Amino acid sequence: MKIAAITCFTYLLLLLLTFSSAQDPTQNFLQCLNRHSHDISEFVYTRKNTTYSETLLYSINNLRFAKPDTPKPLVIIRAVSESQIQSVIYCSKKHHLDMRIRSGGHSFEGLSYVSPLPFVILDLVNFKSFSADTKTNTAWIGSGLTNGELYYKIGETSDRLGFPSGLFANVGVGGILSGGGYGMMMRKYGLAADHVIDARLIDSNGRILDRKAMGEDWFWAIRGGGGGSFGVVISWKVRLLPVPKTVTVYKVYRTVEQNLTSIFHKYQSVAPKLPKELVIKADGQSIVSNISQRADNRTMIFLFEALYLGSADKMLSVMQGQFPELGVVREDCFEVSWLQAMVYFSGFELFTPPEILLNITVLPRPAFKSNNDYTQVPIPVEGLEGLWDLMYKLPPLKATLQFTPYGGRMDEISESALPFPYRAGTLLKFNRYAETDTDEAERMEWVKTLARYLTPYVTKNPRSAYVNYVDLSMGTNNLKGTTSYQQASRWGKRYFKNNFDRLVNIKSAVDPDNFFRHEQSIPPIRI
């Protein structure tokens, strides 16, 4: 009797366990993975693994999405082989889990590592291959490389080659190439994506496709249509581009008391017309200083930082001829290798050994909100003064205005060559950034106020935005069920103008079941 009861109890317990494991998506997913990839378990992290949190945090750049109440993945897979990626796709699909792809983790809205649905992260951090061919000046580069690692490896290959990717060392190759990618050589060479000539992608059926196999439409879409919509890009074949053995750099600061307003006013029309070899970026912040003539002691300070693909003397003669107001002198200028210049523009001291580019723990990781616009005409002086007033409303150093001049090579590429449409006629990319470490709601609101204030001065119909500066305040897909063309156009047209329609058609053909999705992925809709 007793034995029978115990047996019965054990039986019930077993039933219960089986039942609960059948209901547990994590267990089912893990069983599926282990069945399909026998070698995968040491690359799989669940909440039970002691290194789960550190693995999740490893490349989270925006700490706004690293709070205790931020949704966390059920599983993180740091795959090391293509077949493991195929298994992760297969098992996510089979067990209806959302799968987020993470390369460098720099999504402004955390799209690579946060989902409101039960989800897993496919982390490409181990895909760091780099193989250059100096006969053809091309290289296959892994999506898991950071910009810094890429630059370092190019520097090891040759002191006469470079690549026009972004400024910040820790940004991932996977995300930046997926959305276009601009940096200090944009005026000379255009976007990073303009120099992608092949790619290896895994689709929602686990097929591995190169350019030839995916065809020109699909290949067009992955070079700027935004990450997370068209498949997992594992690696990219890119053109490496000639750079001089030494380039010239400078960084100069100007405040309102040093004629910043009139200098910046002129900058807006001059910087996009300079020779292609010269890029001058401008970043503004508000500070407290005793030079201020305001009652609150605040002033605006702008950092003007430049890269010239040539000698200091030549650059100075360009500056004297076209932009003497900035007052750059020989003492401001340094002639360095291209690699050393990339170290400088990543925010490090000029002569820091380039190995710093390989250390992903040194650069700051704030909690922030950021978004952007493009301008086609200079903002008038009174518009700038109103902008400074808005900057004085936040504490010093908590907000930044970042300007990147277009023109040069960007003027020569057609709007539909790649999904990224802001080419000829664009003066500046204008990014706004506010730290949200404290007073989050208030500062998020400030970013909105700033955007509203700028409405008369920036591109309209549609108001422009850069997909790599993803901004969910424009709207989101329905994560369950379908999303209408109308709904997705609210942000889609802003990122891509008319290229959005082509992206939607390609998505409908290559991922009709919408496996690759996130809050602003391209939805499949027949139009």
**Which residues are near ligand FAD by CB under 6 A?**
61, 100-108, 111-112, 124, 143, 166-168, 171-172, 174-176, 178-179, 181-183, 227-228, 232-233, 468, 518
In the bound complex, what is the minimum distance in angstroms from residue 359's beta carbon to ligand NAG? 4
**For residue 39, how many other CB atoms are within 10 A of its CB?**
11
DSSP letter at 146 equals B
The binder of 259, among ligand FAD, ligand NAG, none, by C-beta within 5 to 8 A per type, is ligand NAG
Shortest spacing between CB 153 and ligand NAG, in angstroms: 17
Burial call 184-208: b when 16+ CB within 10 Å, e when fewer: bbbbbbbbbbbbbeebbbbbbebeb
Q: From the list ligand NAG, ligand FAD, none, which binds 142 (C-beta under 5 to 8 Å, kind-based)?
A: none
Q: Which one of ligand NAG, ligand FAD, none interacts with residue 92, CB within 5 to 8 A by kind?
A: none
The DSSP result for 463-475, as a single string, is TP--GGG--GGG-
User: Measured between alpha carbons, how far is 82 from 90 in angstroms, rounded to an integer?
Assistant: 12
The nearest distance, CB 453 to ligand FAD, in angstroms, is 23
Residue with Cβ nearer ligand FAD (196 or 256): 196
Q: Omega of the bond prior to 462 within 30 degrees of 0, cis? A: yes
C-alpha angle with apex 233: 232 to 236, nearest 5 degrees?
A: 175
Cα–Cα distance measured from residue 336 to residue 356, given in angstroms and rounded to the nearest whole number: 16
Nearest approach, Cβ of 49 to ligand FAD (angstroms)? 21
Q: Which is nearer to ligand FAD, 24 or 440 (CB)?
A: 440
Of 45 and 338, the one with the shorter C-beta distance to ligand NAG is: 45
Q: Catalytic: which of 344, 374, 406, 469?
A: 469
34 vs 205, beta carbon nearer ligand FAD: 205
473 binds, among ligand NAG, ligand FAD, none (CB under 5 to 8 A by kind): none
Listed in sequence order, the DSSP H helices in 366-468 are: 381-391, 440-454
Q: What is the DSSP string of 215-254?
A: HHHHHHHTTTS-TTSS-EEEEEEEE-EE--SSEEEEEEEE
Question: Is the CB of 356 or the CB of 413 nearer to ligand NAG?
Answer: 356
**Smallest distance, ligand FAD to C-beta of residue 349, A:** 18
Q: Would you say how long the chain is, in residues? A: 527
Distance CA 495, CA 23 (A): 40
Q: How far is the CB of 432 from ligand FAD (least distance, A)?
A: 13
Taking alpha carbons only, the member of 105, 103, 110 closest to residue 125 is: 103
Whether 469 sits among the annotated catalytic residues: the reply is yes
Whichever of 123 and 277 has its CB closer to ligand FAD, that residue is 123
- Contacted entry of ligand FAD, ligand NAG, none for residue 340, CB cut-off 5 to 8 Å set by kind: none
157 binds, options ligand NAG, ligand FAD, none, Cβ within 5 to 8 A by partner type: none
Q: How many CB atoms lie within 10 A of CB 457?
A: 19
Q: How far apart are CA 359 and CA 361, in angstroms?
A: 6
Of 269 and 359, which has the nearer Cβ to ligand NAG? 359
- As measured in angstroms, the least distance from the Cβ of 106 to ligand FAD is 3
Nearest Cα neighbor of 120 from 70, 53, 73 is: 73
Both structure tokens of 21: 């494991």
Closest to ligand FAD by CB, 179 or 354: 179
467's CB contacts (< 8 A; 6+ apart) are 179, 180, 224, 225, 226, 419, 420, 495, 496
The interface partner of residue 361, options being ligand NAG, ligand FAD, none and the CB cut-off 5 to 8 Å by kind, is: ligand NAG
Under the rule (CB under 6 A), what is the footprint of ligand NAG?
Answer: 41-42, 44-45, 49, 258-259, 290-291, 296-297, 359, 361-362
Q: Could you tell me whether strands 75-77 and 119-123 are parallel, antiparallel, or unpaired per DSSP bridges?
A: parallel
> Minimum Å distance from CB 291 to ligand NAG?
6
| Residue 112 partner contact from ligand FAD, ligand NAG, none using kind-dependent CB cut-offs of 5 to 8 Å | ligand FAD
Query: How many whole angstroms separate alpha carbon 512 and alpha carbon 524?
Result: 6
Which residues are known catalytic residues? 469
